[in-house]
């Protein structure tokens, strides 16, 4: 039991020594700061497009209800903000607060009625023509032009067009109701009804066909469902990748301290044949400290999948980073060379691994970077044994090549 006790004592003393270094304390502190900052950012603005909407008449009840439903129904794709009037709406678009603005007509119900009163021949040209009629296109009937929704955008690009179509989808239930009411009016053979009876009949019939469920179930490749809050907090999605890059940065920092300690001869009391293994475990100690904090951050930050995946993947990432960092030390040797390579490698980890976006360019080079296999494996894109092979090869090669 003497040797295991000595090993544990060395690890304890080395850990205490490393934790006294300001750099490692900063790295540990960066984890909760990163999680808190990204979490706050995702809560403040979690939509790809912001659209402003305002009524022409603040007293119009239909406009108020529509604006309320649009604002409350904002999603990760389009977020609606309410403006008091046309001037405020134009200011929001001009200042960049909103990508596009919609000014509702003074009488929104009149637009629905005019839409439902169109002749069949005007409804056969497709969804884009129907959308154009709502926005007062040249081919729209005059009655609809009089009550059209005005659209304001800095550029008439694809995003603006898709946002207008998304608004059409929000208006569709009301438009459908208007069409059915008009049809009942011009087809007396269905039975004479008062306006109140007709409205009640339409409301009952349409409610029978309403679907409140999603037609698509989103899952990762390993079968883990994609939760609704994950979709809405899409800005927070790079957090796992950023934490993996932070863990890699910790490995590089540990290499700098190890290189300095070797130059200063601080470990001459250790037998030379143990040096290669000792150097490898030296790197593992700060990596395990950061890994514990990262594990807690993933759990608290809402990116946690399941413990049977998280623990093995994180441990293998630690071994990957230790082997990669040790090989970097052996290849570059000099401390200034190692320090100069760190910004390049961290930039490569940020943009060549799927931290922000999953690009397939120079894939053999991408696979050499430790975060790549971790991020690919976490949801089943790649099996964990890829990480195990990488960790074994880099670890064994770095120990075998270590003669310092």
Reported confidence tier of residue 93, pLDDT bands at 50, 70, 90: confident
Please compute the mean of the pLDDT values over residues 239-247 and round it to a whole number: 87
The predicted pLDDT at position 315 comes to 95
Reported confidence tier of residue 313, pLDDT bands at 50, 70, 90: very high
Mapped onto helix, strand or coil, the DSSP state of residue 162 is helix
pLDDT reading at 136 higher than 60: no
Please compute the mean of the pLDDT values over residues 127-133 and round it to a whole number: 52
Strands 150-153 and 78-82: unpaired
The predicted pLDDT at position 382 comes to 83
* DSSP letter string, 326-378: HHHHHHH-SHHHHHHHHHHHHHHHHHHSTTSS---SSHHHHHHSHHHHHHHHT
What token pair was written down for 347? 């930039």
Across 106-115, 139-148, 326-335, which has the greatest mean pLDDT?
326-335
Phi/psi-derived region of residue 380, left when phi > 0, alpha when psi is between -120 and 50, beta in every other case: left
- Average pLDDT taken over every residue of the chain: 77
Indicate the burial class of 215 (C-beta count within 10 angstroms; 0-12, 13-18, 19 or more).
exposed
Q: Whole-angstrom Cα distance, residue 337 to residue 113?
A: 74
Q: Whole-angstrom Cα distance, residue 123 to residue 144?
A: 13
pLDDT reading at 210 higher than 60: yes
The alpha carbon of 170 is separated from its chain's Cα centroid by a whole number of angstroms, namely 24
% of residues, the chain, pLDDT over 70:
70
Reported confidence tier of residue 125, pLDDT bands at 50, 70, 90: very low
pLDDT reading at 234 higher than 60: no
The predicted pLDDT at position 215 comes to 56
Please compute the mean of the pLDDT values over residues 349-358 and round it to a whole number: 82
Mapped onto helix, strand or coil, the DSSP state of residue 90 is helix
Q: Whole-angstrom Cα distance, residue 220 to residue 235?
A: 18
Give per-residue pLDDT as tens, 283-310. Answer: 898 898 888 888 888 887 767 777 888 8
Reported confidence tier of residue 323, pLDDT bands at 50, 70, 90: very high
Please compute the mean of the pLDDT values over residues 34-45 and round it to a whole number: 60
| 172, 173, 175, 180: CA torsion to nearest 10 | 140
The predicted pLDDT at position 24 comes to 72
Q: Whole-angstrom Cα distance, residue 183 to residue 189?
A: 11
pLDDT reading at 330 higher than 50: yes
What Rg, from alpha-carbon coordinates, does the chain have? 31
The predicted pLDDT at position 3 comes to 67
Element holding 379 (H helix, E strand)? none
pLDDT reading at 387 higher than 90: yes
Q: Whole-angstrom Cα distance, residue 14 to residue 21?
A: 11
* DSSP letter string, 207-249: HHT---S-S---B-TTS-B--HHHHHTGGGTTHHHHHHHHHHH
**Lowest pLDDT segment from 36-40, 41-45, 236-240, 312-316:** 41-45
- Higher model confidence: residue 39 or residue 80? 80
Reported confidence tier of residue 161, pLDDT bands at 50, 70, 90: confident
**Lowest pLDDT segment from 21-35, 325-339, 374-388:** 21-35
pLDDT reading at 236 higher than 50: no
Please compute the mean of the pLDDT values over residues 269-287 and round it to a whole number: 85
Measured from the Cβ of residue 21, the count of other Cβ atoms closer than 10 Å reads 14
Reported confidence tier of residue 79, pLDDT bands at 50, 70, 90: confident
**Lowest pLDDT segment from 220-224, 285-289, 370-374:** 220-224
Indicate the burial class of 198 (C-beta count within 10 angstroms; 0-12, 13-18, 19 or more).
middle
Give per-residue pLDDT as tens, 2-34. Answer: 566 666 666 666 666 776 777 777 777 777 777
Residues 6+ away with beta carbon under 8 Å from 110 = 146, 147
Reported confidence tier of residue 312, pLDDT bands at 50, 70, 90: very high
Q: Whole-angstrom Cα distance, residue 104 to residue 53?
A: 7
166-197 burial code (b ≥16 CB/10 A, e <16): bbbeebeebbbbbbbbbebeeeeeeeebeeee
Reported confidence tier of residue 121, pLDDT bands at 50, 70, 90: very low
Residues 6+ away with beta carbon under 8 Å from 389 = none
Reported confidence tier of residue 235, pLDDT bands at 50, 70, 90: very low
Is-contact 254 283, C-beta < 8 A? yes
Distances from the Cα of 225 to the Cαs of 77, 216, 230, 396, in angstroms?
Answer: 19, 11, 10, 37
């Amino acid at each position: 039991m003497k040797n295991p006790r000595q090993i544990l004592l060395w690890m304890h003393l080395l850990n205490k020594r490393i934790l006294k270094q300001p750099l490692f304390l900063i790295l540990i502190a960066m984890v909760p700061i990163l999680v808190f900052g990204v979490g706050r950012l995702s809560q403040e603005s979690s939509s790809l497009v912001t659209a402003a909407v305002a009524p022409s008449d603040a007293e119009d009840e239909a406009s108020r209800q529509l604006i309320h439903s649009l604002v409350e129904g904002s999603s990760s794709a389009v977020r609606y903000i309410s403006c008091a009037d046309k001037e405020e709406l134009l200011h929001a678009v001009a200042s960049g607060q909103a990508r596009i603005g919609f000014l509702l007509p003074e009488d929104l119900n009149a637009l629905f009625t005019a839409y439902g009163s169109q002749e069949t021949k005007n409804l056969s040209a497709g969804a884009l023509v129907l959308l154009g009629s709502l926005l007062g296109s040249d081919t729209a009937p005059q009655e609809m032009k009089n009550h059209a929704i005005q659209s304001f955008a800095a550029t008439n690009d694809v995003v603006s067009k898709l946002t207008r179509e998304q608004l059409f989808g929000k208006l569709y239930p009301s438009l459908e109701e208007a069409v059915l009411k008009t049809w009942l009016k011009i087809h007396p053979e269905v039975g004479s009804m008062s306006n109140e009876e007709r409205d009640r009949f339409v409301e009952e019939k349409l409610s029978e066909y309403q679907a409140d469920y999603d037609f698509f179930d989103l899952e990762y490749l390993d079968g883990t469902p994609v939760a609704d809050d994950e979709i809405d907090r899409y800005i927070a999605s790079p957090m796992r990748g950023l934490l993996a890059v932070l863990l890699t940065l910790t490995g590089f920092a540990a290499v700098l301290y190890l290189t300095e300690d070797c130059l200063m001869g601080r470990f001459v009391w250790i037998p030379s044949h143990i040096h290669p293994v000792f150097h490898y475990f030296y790197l593992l100690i700060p990596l395990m400290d950061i890994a514990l904090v990262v594990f807690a951050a993933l759990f608290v930050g809402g990116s946690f999948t399941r413990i049977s995946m998280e623990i093995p993947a994180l441990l293998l990432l630690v071994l990957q980073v230790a082997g990669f960092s040790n090989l970097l030390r052996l290849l570059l040797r000099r401390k200034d060379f190692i320090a100069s390579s760190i910004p390049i490698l961290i930039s490569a980890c940020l943009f060549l691994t799927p931290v922000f976006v999953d690009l397939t360019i120079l894939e053999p080079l991408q696979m050499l970077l430790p975060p790549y296999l971790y991020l690919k494996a976490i949801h089943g894109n790649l099996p964990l044994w890829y990480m195990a092979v990488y960790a074994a090869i880099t670890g064994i090669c770095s120990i075998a090549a270590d003669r310092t």
